[in-house]
Each structure stands twice: as structure tokens, then as C-alpha cells.
Amino acid sequence: MTQQHPITPPPELVEQWAHLPADWNTVAFLIAQWGADAELEACCEWLSVPCPSYGRELRNARRPKPPSLKEQALEALAHILNNSSTQLGADTIRRALEQLPDNN
């Protein structure tokens, strides 16, 4: 009895993994990541049928993008302001950062 699971990597990908010059842990990580991503995409597709935003919201929640450099700088500035006794120049730095585009 041979039933193929609905989330099965294509043979060419399995072949590629088999020839990676990496240790078993790295290959296992790649396989697990591929399976998790495939499952997430299947769930997002299923959720998008009643409402397209459901799939997008699930993907954003499960695979969040790292904060942009601007967001990281604003967070670092807030930390400095909350843990420092001086605000010299901080307002100018904050305003300048807020005007930058939200690119990574």
C-alpha cells in the first residue's frame, strides 16, 4: 500500500538535498523548513477561500518579517531615552528616523 502524503517534496528537491555538502543536522533543518513552509502555504490557500485577508494574516503571523533598520533604530533610541538622564539631540534623531522610508 503506497499512499503519498499531500505534502511531499518533489524528487528533484530530494535529490538536491541528498547531494548537499552539509551535515545531517543542516539537511534535516532544510527538510523541516520546507515541510513547514509547504504546510503554511496550504493553510493560507485554504483560509483565503472565504476571505483573502485570512491567508495573508496567517502568513504574516507565522512568518513575520524582521524589523527594518529604521524600526530597530527607533527602538534603540527609545531604550536610550528610557534609560538615560539626558535627551540631548534625541528628538532630532527621532524625527530624522521617522522621516526615513520603511525599507530594511
Alpha-carbon distance of 32 to 21, in angstroms, equals 18
Which of these ranges, 34-38, 58-62, 74-78, 87-91, has the smallest mean pLDDT?
87-91
Residue-level pLDDT at 104: 58
Mapping DSSP to helix (H, G, I), strand (E, B) and coil, where does residue 51 land? Answer: coil
Can you tell me the distance from the alpha carbon of 78 to that of 11, in angstroms, rounded to the nearest whole number? 50
Alpha carbon distance 97, 77 (integer Å): 10
Query: Looking at residue 97, what is its pLDDT?
Result: 86
Could you give the percent of the chain with pLDDT greater than 90? 41
Q: Over pLDDT 70: what percentage of the chain?
A: 95
**pLDDT for residue 1:** 46
pTM over 0.75: no
Average pLDDT of 77-91? 79
Q: How many of the other CB atoms lie within 10 Å of CB of 58?
A: 16
Q: What is the pLDDT of residue 56?
A: 92
